[in-house]
Amino acid sequence: MRQTIVAGNWKMNASKETVNTLVVGILEGLHNVKNAKVIVCASSPYLSQVEALAVHSQLNLGAQDLNVNASGAFTGEISADMIKDFGAEYVIVGHSERRSLYGETDEIVANKVKAALDNDLTPLFCIGELLEERESGNTEAVVTRQINAVIAKVGIEAFKNIIVAYEPVWAIGTGVTATPQQAQDTHAFIRSLLAENDADIAQTTPILYGGSMNPANAEELIACEDIDGGLIGGASLKAEDFLSICKAG
Ligand code: PGA
């Protein structure tokens, strides 16, 4: 039985004031979330603020990216140790915005997954196809390439500590959600890919859906057999909406 996981990806949306309102709001309603593990992934300047607000609560903290190096001359970057220094245990890796806007290749993403694991952070490892890749019938080929790059780097055993997030790029921030059937089909395919390497690990690896998940569609998506929760962008910025998704699990 896989636990439902709901993770908020705030992206580059925050101020001290909005973070305070959002986290206080989430904490007020969190006791009504019975099943889901809840994570918020903040921009680095706000990790400390969320850590302080969420101390002794069931709210878990994550970062949005990491550098593979431990320290040194990497201006503007953030290391796994820095992330952990603020009580965060999770880090988003390979988000489609990192892949498309900052040139992160499968190889770079695989190295980041490895760096997270080597430093006891749980990566939220993102995969997903572009619209033209779906339309040309290449969804399965794309997610196979993305998953296999990470298996080749860290091995299948490492998936005991990896959360996969399937995010069709055409559904991210567009208001167009994959239908439950489209999402379930791809999730089942991803699980079958993992099962080719290890059947037990395939059954225990959480695979979250991301892409315009909201309070209106979360329940139906999370009810699908192979969808174990969500990675939520826009709808994670309002406590009420985010909590309602958390309760859908
Ligand atoms: P969205 O973003 O929920 O706003 O579509 C999801 C994500 O990018 O992780």
- For residues 126-144, average pLDDT: 97
Q: Which residues line ligand 1 (CB under 6 A)?
A: 9, 167, 172-173, 210-213, 231-235
Nearest CA to ligand 1 atom 2: 233
Amino acid at 33: V
Question: Each residue of 159-190: b (16+ CB within 10 Å) or e?
Answer: beebbbbbbbbbbbeeeebbebeebbbbbebb
- For residues 25-48, average pLDDT: 97
Q: How far apart are CA 211 and CA 177, in angstroms?
A: 6
User: How many whole angstroms from 182 Cα to the centroid of ligand 1?
Assistant: 17
Q: What is the band of 64 on the pLDDT scale with cuts at 50, 70, 90?
A: very high
Q: What is the band of 112 on the pLDDT scale with cuts at 50, 70, 90?
A: very high
- Residue 201 CB partners (closer than 8 Å, separation 6+): 156, 157, 159, 160, 194
The share of the chain scoring above pLDDT 70, in percent, equals 100
31 belongs to the catalytic site: no
Q: Could you tell which of 90, 213, 242 is best to mutate to test the pocket of ligand 1, judged by most ligand atoms within 8 Å of the CB?
A: 213
The residue assigned the tokens 């004031």 is 17
pLDDT of residue 249: 82
Q: Which atom of ligand 1 is nearest to the CA of 11?
A: 8
Contact 59, 26 (CB under 8 A): yes
167 belongs to the catalytic site: yes
Domain 4-248 in this protein, CATH class = alpha beta
Q: What is the pTM of this model?
A: 0.98
Q: Which atom of ligand 1 is nearest to the CA of 231?
A: 9
pLDDT digits (tens, 9 = 90+) for 163-195: 999 999 999 999 999 999 999 999 999 999 999
Nearest CA to 128 out of 107, 113, 145, 152 is that of 145
Contact 59, 38 (CB under 8 A): yes
Q: Which of 140, 167, 196, 220 is catalytic?
A: 167
* Binding-site residues from annotation for substrate: 9-11, 173, 212, 233-234
- For residues 3-22, average pLDDT: 98
Nearest CA to ligand 1 atom 6: 233
User: How many whole angstroms from 133 Cα to the centroid of ligand 1?
Assistant: 19
177 DSSP assignment: P
Contact 142, 109 (CB under 8 A): no
Q: Which atom of ligand 1 is nearest to the CA of 172?
A: 5
User: How many whole angstroms from 106 Cα to the centroid of ligand 1?
Assistant: 20
pLDDT of residue 8: 98
pLDDT of residue 1: 78
- For residues 90-106, average pLDDT: 98
Amino acid at 72: G
Average pLDDT score, the chain: 97
Q: What is the band of 88 on the pLDDT scale with cuts at 50, 70, 90?
A: very high
pLDDT digits (tens, 9 = 90+) for 186-237: 999 999 999 999 999 999 999 999 999 999 999 999 999 999 999 999 999 9
Where does the chain show beta strands of DSSP type E?
Answer: 5-9, 37-41, 59-63, 90-93, 122-127, 163-166, 207-210, 229-232
pLDDT of residue 11: 98
Can you read off the two tokens belonging to residue 238?
Answer: 């309002």
pLDDT digits (tens, 9 = 90+) for 152-166: 999 999 999 999 999
